[in-house]
Amino acid sequence: MKQLRRDSLIKLIACIVVTIGVFVAFVQPLANSIRQGLDLQGGTHVVLEAEDTPEAQVNDDAMQRVVSIMEKRVNELGLTEPIIQREGERRVIIELPGIKDPDKAIQTIGKTAMLEFKDEEGNTVLTGTDLKDAQAATNQQNGQNVVHLEFSDEGAEKFADLTLKNVGRTIAILLDGEVLTAPNVREPIMGGRAEISGQKTLEEAQQLAVLLRSGALPVKVNIIETRTVGPSLGQDSKDKSEFAFAVGIGAVLLFMLVFYRMSGFIADIALMAYTMMLLFLLKSLDATLTLPGVAGIILSIGMAVDANVLIFEHFKEEFRLGKSLRLAMDAGFNRAFTTIFDSNITTIIAAAVLFFLGSGTIRGFAITLGLGVILSMFTAITLTQYMLKMLIASRLFKNPSVYGVHDLIFAGEEVKKDA
């Protein structure tokens, strides 16, 4: 018996020491290593200017199309939550959150991406508008990086016609006037599919596919300015918000400690572990944290605390019914679990729908909320449960008030009467 008590105590202390240690040592560097969005960290500010050419004049309609094509390109390149904004008559501002090689990304985005198929005489037979889809792939046999093209019905006919007439001759595929590849036509191709080879890396092939999918810009654009900008919330607001966040979390920890004593302390430890896990998960998913994401975190911390409160309240009820600490704990957990499960599943449903159907900032919010709620449920039923069991088994405290069973204001009294 004594052995069991001592073992439990050691396990409990180990949990507490490890969690606090990991938290204190790593919370700051981990939090800082998570990529932050334009609102929290700033990024690269690029100004594109459209230029009149003999082929295409700049007008309002063209500029609107430039904006929507840019949105498509930036999103498809996986640059999270950019800002794409019309400026004046013929400019577009693109702001990208901290990425590794902004210059390269900008070069790619700024391409006109005019695709042409020409015969030997130099006649343009097909253009990018005849495409239905473009996908990058690596050819399994020769290891070449290629872009698979799928033509629209009309495009397929044109392509069949082109290849039929040019058997034994070469056709050229050009992007913005430069020859990408000039294959020799061996036989007519009727299936409406073609392939562009000659890309050096798979990444290059993917970028080309994105450009082709998003379509050609209606006008030529030039990059007239690139610079770094600070957080759009303002550095001052960001500093203040960080302080506010720390105060808020501190208040939550203190609150639990005051109202639930030793149980509250265990909940606090669980909350620290929860925070570390959430940050770690966001980091490993390479998520971008923005203010909406922070809202998701605030709520999920609330729910993590909520799970603990539910457990403690059920525990207290069971204890007042006359059960021993250990039995009350088991019964409390079992009852709390259904509650936590049902209430959290509804929130997870909302987060999942927002993630799959939402766009941009909404997805970022949904992912932090969804992950946060799943993790909070996980910590409550594993860590909190484990530590409380060890605490009770260690028989460190015999007075129930240590577990927060002291005042009889709301629920307890009612339960007693009923019992």
Of 158-197, binders to other proteins (CB under 8 A) are: none
Q: Is 371 in the site for other proteins (CB under 8 A)?
A: no
Ramachandran assignment for 127, one of left (phi > 0), alpha (psi -120 to 50 degrees), beta (any other): beta
| Backbone torsions φ then ψ of 353, nearest 5 degrees | -65, -45
Per CB under 8 A, does 258 bind other proteins? no
If the CB atoms of residues 24 and 362 are measured against other proteins, the closer one turns out to be 362
Which residues in the 127-146 window bind other proteins by CB under 8 A? none
Terminal alpha carbon distance of the chain = 33
CB 123, min distance to other proteins, A: 39
Relative to beta strand 124-127, strand 220-229 is unpaired
Out of 298, 327, 331, 374, point to the residue binding other proteins (CB under 8 A).
298
Interacting positions 329-368 with other proteins (CB under 8 A): 335, 338-339, 342-347, 349-351, 353-354, 357-362, 365-366
Among 78, 191, 248, 322, binds other proteins (CB under 8 A): 248
Residue 98 engages other proteins in binding (rule: CB under 8 A):
yes
Which range in 18-26, 122-130, 153-161, 237-245 contacts other proteins by CB under 8 A?
A: 237-245
Q: Which residues, 6 or more positions from 203, have their beta carbon under 8 angstroms from its beta carbon?
A: none
The binding track of 23-52 with respect to other proteins, each residue x by CB under 8 A or -, is ----------------x-xx--x-------
Binding mask 299-328 for other proteins (x = CB under 8 A): x-xxx-xx--xx--x---x-----------
Residues 391-410 that bind other proteins (CB under 8 A): 409-410
Sheet containing strand 145-151, edge to edge, reads 131-138, 145-151, 193-199
| Cβ nearer to other proteins, comparing 147 with 252 | 252
| Min separation Cβ 67 and other proteins, Å | 8
Contacting other proteins (CB under 8 A), which of 132, 180, 241, 381?
Answer: 241
For residue 294, the minimal CB distance to other proteins (Å) is: 9
Distances (CA, A) of 3 to 9, 11, 150, 388, 394: 10, 12, 72, 18, 10
φ, ψ of residue 101 to 5 degrees: the values are: -125, 75
> Residues 64 to 83: which contact other proteins by CB under 8 A?
67, 83
User: Which of residues 84 and 325 has its CB atom nearest to other proteins in the complex?
Assistant: 84
Q: Which is nearer to other proteins, 191 or 322 (CB)?
A: 322
Nearest Cα residue to 403 out of 266, 307, 306, 304: 266
Does residue 215 interact with other proteins by CB under 8 A? no
Smallest distance, Å, CB 281 to other proteins? Answer: 18
CB nearer to other proteins: pick between 139 and 222: 222
Task: Tell me the DSSP string of 124-135.
Answer: EEEEGGGEEEEE
Q: Specify the pairing of strand 43-51 against strand 91-97.
A: antiparallel
Query: Alpha helices, DSSP H only, in 215-285?
Result: 235-284
Question: Element (H or E) spanning 198, and its range?
Answer: strand 193-199
* DSSP letters spanning 157-172: HHHHHHHHHTTTSB-E
203 vs 236 by CB, closer to other proteins? 236
- How far is 60 from 66, CA to CA, in rounded Å? 10
Query: Scanning residues 276 to 295, which ones bind other proteins (CB under 8 A)?
Result: 291-292, 295
- Which lies closer to other proteins via its Cβ, residue 273 or residue 310? 310
Comparing CB distances to other proteins, the nearer of 167 and 341 is 341
Per DSSP, the residues of 332-357 read HHHHHHHHHHHHHHHHHHHHHHHHHH
Using CB atoms within 10 A of its CB, is residue 147 exposed (0-12), middle (13-18) or buried (19+)?
A: buried
